[in-house]
Amino acid sequence: MHLVFDDTAPDPAALVERVRTTSDERLHEQAAGRALRALRSGTTTLRDCGDRDGITARLRDEIRTGATTGPRLITTGPPLTVPDGHCWFLGGSAGTDEELRERVRRNAELGVDMIKVMASGGQITPGSPPSWQSQFDRDRLRLVVAEAERHGLPVAAHAHGTTAIRDAVAAGVRTVEHCSWTTGPGEVHRDAATAAEMAARGVHACAASSRNWRRIIDSLPPESPSRSTAGCRGWPNAASG
């Protein structure tokens, strides 16, 4: 989940603008409301894979202490991305090795449970790299994993593209979000060797479908592995990336 996202926005640009222009206090209030609705629907744990300024880490702690009611939260803080990259508006942009290390350290200071890195582009950030294009090479992904390990944190990689998935797994990430094996517009290539390595090492893949999953599925070619998510739904009024 991204509890700070509102998928009632009419389009990706509007979603980005709502996050950018909403105060931390209001985003916190909205995230708490979405988390409570998820709990009331029967969900007892949510992985929040990208917020702004550690909002969901604070919400997690409030839930733990009983100050508010919600499901167990596992949080990442702002996801690491390239300048003007996917979800840059959450504040995790990094253009150099040292900036990547600093972003990991900053998220660790926020008290997150894991580190999120945007290994590929995505679908909701206007002007950012397309979902099949890698944002970080293998060496930089290894740097992120190594720095996260110094702080005792696992790494979750947002990766649609086959190359990004391959590099993220080789770098040592613990989960691959989306894992749609895309190589271009409407093009899919599932790397069997990488899939086998993921299975052998226990690297989990999460389809991470959003509320508009039917439209996304319909846009994929018939052979896409992501069509297997057709029975999944996102929780109301929150979106995935």
- CA 79 to chain centroid, in Å, comes to 7
CATH number, residue 117: 3.20.20.140
On whether residue 181 sits in a domain, the answer given is yes
DSSP of 94-155, one letter per residue? --SHHHHHHHHHHHHHTT-SSEEEE-B--SSSTTSPPTTSBSS-HHHHHHHHHHHHHTT--E
On whether residue 7 sits in a domain, the answer given is no
The domain in which residue 58 lies consists of 12-229
The amino acid at residue 73 is L
On whether residue 111 sits in a domain, the answer given is yes
What's this model's pTM, rounded to 2 decimal places? 0.89
Of the listed ranges 143-157, 180-194, 221-235, the one predicted with least confidence: 221-235
Distance, CA of 220 to CA of 232 (rounded, Å)? 16
On whether residue 224 sits in a domain, the answer given is yes
On whether residue 70 sits in a domain, the answer given is yes
pLDDT digits (tens, 9 = 90+) for 75-99: 999 999 999 999 999 999 999 999 9
Distance, CA of 57 to CA of 20 (rounded, Å)? 19
Mean pLDDT of 164-190: 95
Tokens, residue 8? 């009632």
On whether residue 5 sits in a domain, the answer given is no
On whether residue 137 sits in a domain, the answer given is yes
Tokens, residue 118? 């945007």
On whether residue 54 sits in a domain, the answer given is yes
Tally the domains of the chain.
1
The values of phi and psi at residue 193, to 5°, are: -65, -40
The amino acid at residue 77 is G
Interacting residues of 174 by C-beta distance below 8 A, sequence separation 6+: 114, 154, 155, 156, 203, 204
Q: Do the beta carbons of residue 99 and residue 147 sit within 8 Å?
A: no
DSSP E strands, the chain: 45-48, 72-75, 115-118, 155-161, 175-184, 187-188, 204-206
CA distances to 26, 81, 129 from 120, rounded to whole Å, are 29, 9, 8
pLDDT digits (tens, 9 = 90+) for 28-43: 999 999 999 999 999 9
